[in-house]
Amino acid sequence: MARDTVDSTPIETVADLAATLEAGCKPSEKFRIGTEHEKFGFNLDDLSPIPYEGPKGVEAVLTGMEQLLGWERIEDRGKIIGLADPVGGGAISIEPGGQFELSGAPLENLHQTCRETNQHLDQVRQVADPLRIGFLGTGMAPTWKREEVPVMPKSRYEIMTRYMPKVGSLGLDMMYRTSTIQVNLDFSSEADMAQKMRVGLALQPIATAIFANSPFTEGKPNGFKSFRAHIWTDTDADRTGDMPFAFEDGFGFESYVTWAIDVPMYFVKRGDTYHDVTDTTFRQFMNGALEGRVPDAKPTLGDWNNHLSTLFPDVRLKKYIEMRGADGGPWRRICALPALWVGLLYDQGVLDQAWQLVKDWSAEERAALRSGVPKTALQTPFRSGTVLDVAKEVLSLSQEGLRRRNRLSDGDLDERVHLAAVEEGLAAGMCPADVMLQRYGGSWEGDITRIFKDYAY
């Protein structure tokens, strides 16, 4: 999220909150694709993480991007922390450890998504190359210790940094040493939202396995294929996970709200000030718990939207649905992740088939996938086979969904072309981490620094 909101519209009831989610409903012809991807900035000379300040830091890159693009700067206490396209396109923001994120514009097809990605990476290189800064596409920083990673000057991150060690052992690693690719997709009705949420939650571990790309920590193999996904299992149980309640009869907007309002908040923003309210749930806030502690202590639409942005389930609901299970990766994977989910979710017939695939998976099976996939990815046992078998079925469904969409590029190729990286990986039975580990034990000869060449943008 590029900019925390200060919308002062009052909200009073669970129905009010549910209505804010329901407002996202739109006809299928207006469905759009919003892709977000993060990357690690590093110093080309010594492969260290780039600081915020200085001539070769995050601030310099953001300022250079501001001059190149003419986008509006976003500031926190006078420090530039992001940029927003003034005509409603994308936004650039920084994650806690300086991970550089593009939140893409809502686009009509995946060809546009890939053009946007390529244009952004080219623009970043125009600014970063003269500064001797490179950018790495992996799910976790492969060599840096947590204490080596710089801290970005964002007020919300200060609150989160204090809070994370109270609720999990790996939350600070999530903040400072991981990166992701995610896609934001639309829904047409409450029933459509519920079906997409259920399919997305069930299949999120499958996507995690397909895109697993974080097998190294502090310069050596960590025993996982997606250490990033493992980190999420011990970050903050209150606000993460696969939300078993989404599979219960009657799941809808109010069900999500009922869960969300009992999650502790991080902050309330009044003006430019962030008030730490980590001891208060949103429900308690609605019942007057912050009277006398923060100015204007009645909750607003801005407070609610900010709170929604601090929830981290595997699939997150706002006025759209966010698919959150994939590691960051090289540029072809940035296009492939949205392609996988658009193919599965944007054709009703394929969505129905995807639901048939997962609807009899038990809560225990889903939980076992979520805990097993970070370690063994595509080789994770499932029923009579492995996750690789399921992944091939999922890929086939996605390809069919994209074929039916029939959105053609200038070269008359449909959107299935963007699944090529996934198709190649599954044909070989390997996730990106498998390839990386193979190189580490082979052509890299155990030299982990080679990753900064082979996986840089």
The pLDDT assigned to 75 comes to 96
Q: Distance between CA atoms of 28 and 109, rounded to whole angstroms? A: 13
With bands split at pLDDT 50, 70 and 90, how would you rate the model's confidence at 10? confident
Helix (H, G, I), strand (E, B) or coil at 141: coil
Q: Where are the domains of the chain?
A: 14-454
Q: Give 1's pLDDT tier (boundaries 50, 70, 90).
A: very low
Q: Look over the chain and give the mean of its residue pLDDT values, rounded to a whole number.
A: 96
**What pLDDT, on a 0 to 100 scale, did the predictor assign at position 411?**
84
pLDDT (tens digit per residue) in 41-94: 999 999 999 999 999 999 999 999 999 999 999 999 999 999 999 987 899 999
Per-residue burial over 110-119, b = 16 or more CB atoms within 10 Å of its CB, e = otherwise: bbbbbebbee
Would strands 133-136 and 33-43 be described as parallel, antiparallel, or unpaired? antiparallel
| Structure confidence at residue 88 (pLDDT) | 77
Tokens standing for residue 161: 């940094």
pLDDT band at 359 (very low <50, low <70, confident <90, very high): very high
CATH of 14-454, one of 3.30.590.20, 3.10.129.10, 3.40.50.920, 3.40.50.300: 3.30.590.20
What's the rounded mean pLDDT across residues 221-243?
97
Q: Is the dihedral of CA 354, 357, 189, 349 positive or negative?
A: positive
pLDDT tens digits, 399-412: 999 999 999 998 89
- Contacts of 365-373 with CB under 8 Å at 24 or more apart are 366/201, 366/202, 366/205, 366/242, 366/244, 367/242, 369/205, 369/206, 370/204, 370/205, 370/233, 370/241, 370/242, 370/314, 371/233, 372/205, 373/205, 373/206, 373/208, 373/209, 373/212, 373/225, 373/226, 373/229
Task: Give pLDDT, residue 5.
Answer: 62
**pLDDT tens digit string along 159-191?**
999 999 999 999 999 999 999 999 999 999 999
Beta strands in 108-233 (DSSP E): 133-136, 180-185, 216-217, 220-221
Contact 196, 416 (CB under 8 A): no
Q: Over range 206-222, report the average pLDDT.
A: 98
Can you give the pLDDT at residue 6? 63
**pLDDT for residue 226 is more than 50:** yes
User: Is residue 74 classed as helix, strand or coil in its secondary structure?
Assistant: strand
Structure confidence at residue 77 (pLDDT): 94
pLDDT at 422 over 70: yes
